Chain A
Amino acid sequence: MASKLQARRREEFKRYKEDTQREGKPFFPYAIYHDTVMSVVTVGVIIGLSFVWYFTADDTPQGDGLEAGVLGPWYADKADPGTTQFVPRPDWFFYFLFYLLRIFKWPETVLLGTVGIPTICLVLLLALPFYDRSPERRPLRRPVAMVAAILTVISMGVLTWKGATAQEALGSEIIASGEIEQWAAEQGFSDSREAIDGASLFAQTGCLNCHVYLGIGNANLGAPELSEVGATGRGADYFKSYVANPAQFGNNVMISYSYLGDENLGKLAAFLDASKGHGAAAEGG
Chain B
Amino acid sequence: MPKSARRKQIEAVALYPLDWVEERSGLVGYTKWFLFRKVPRDINWMQTLGSATLTAFIVQAVTGVILAMYYKPDPDRAYESVVKITDEVTLGWLVRGMHKWGASVFIILMFLHMGRVFLFGAYKYPRELNWILGVLLLVTGMAEGFTGYLLPWDQTAYWATVVGININATGPFVGPFLAQFLQGGLAIGPDTLSKFYSLHMLVLPGAIMGLIGLHIYLVTRLGVTSPPWSSVAAGRPRPEENGPGGGRRGLIRDPAELEQAEEGEL
Contact = CB atoms under 8 A, between A and B. Distances in A.
Q: Do A and B come from one complex?
A: yes
Interface of A: 9, 12-13, 15-17, 19-21, 23-28, 30-32, 34-35, 37-39, 41-43, 45-47, 49-51, 53-54, 63-65, 71, 74-81, 83, 86-94, 97-98, 101, 110-111, 114-115, 122, 125-126, 128-130, 132-140, 142, 145, 149, 153, 209-210, 220-223, 247, 252-253, 255-256
A111 B124 CA distance: 33
B221 to A, nearest CB: 11
Contact of B223 (A17, A30, A50, A128): A17
B125 A27 contact: no
A13 B223 CA distance: 10
Contact of A91 (B87, B149, B234): B149
Contacts of A51: 97
B155 A53 contact: no
Most B-side CB within 10 Å, residue of A87, A93, A128, A142: A93
B41 A23 contact: yes
Contacts of B247: none
A28 B186 CA distance: 55
**A contact face: mostly helix, strand, loop, or mixed:** helix
B160 A90 contact: yes
B238 A49 contact: no
Interface string B101-115: 110110101000001
Contacts of B163: 88-90, 98, 220-221
A132 B158 CA distance: 41
B228 A138 contact: yes
A222 B82 contact: no
A94 B170 contact: no
Contacts of B179: 253
Contacts of A221: 162-163, 166-167, 170
A75 B83 contact: yes
**B contact face: mostly helix, strand, loop, or mixed:** helix
Contact of B105 (A30, A49, A110, A223): A49
11 contacts: A16-B235, A38-B55, A46-B98, A50-B97, A75-B86, A79-B79, A91-B145, A111-B172, A114-B171, A139-B229, A210-B162
B73 interface: no
A20 B223 contact: yes
Interface in B142-190: 142, 145-146, 149, 152-160, 162-164, 166-167, 169-172, 175, 179-180, 183, 186-188
A91 to B, nearest CB: 5
B126 interface: yes
Give the contact-size bracket for chain B: 35 or more
Contacts of B149: 90-91
B59 interface: yes
Contact of B155 (A12, A80, A223): A80
Interface of B: 34-41, 43, 45, 47-49, 51-52, 54-56, 59, 75, 79, 82-83, 86-87, 93-94, 97-98, 100-102, 104-105, 107, 109, 115, 118-128, 131-132, 135, 139, 142, 145-146, 149, 152-160, 162-164, 166-167, 169-172, 175, 179-180, 183, 186-188, 223-226, 228-229, 232-238
Most B-side CB within 10 Å, residue of A47, A51, A65, A88: A88
Given A30-B39, A122-B139, A39 B51 contact: yes
B39 A20 contact: yes
Contacts of B166: 210, 220-223, 253
A20 B131 contact: no
Contacts of B162: 88, 209-210, 221
B171 A115 contact: yes
Contacts of A83: 155, 159
A79 B157 contact: yes
A129 B124 contact: yes
A97 B143 CA distance: 13
Give 5 nearest A-B pairs by CB, closest first.
A50-B97, A16-B235, A137-B121, A24-B38, A79-B158
Contact of A81 (B120, B160, B187): B187
A77 B56 contact: no
A41 B56 CA distance: 11
Contact of B55 (A42, A77, A138): A42
Contacts of B226: 16
Nearest to A35: B51
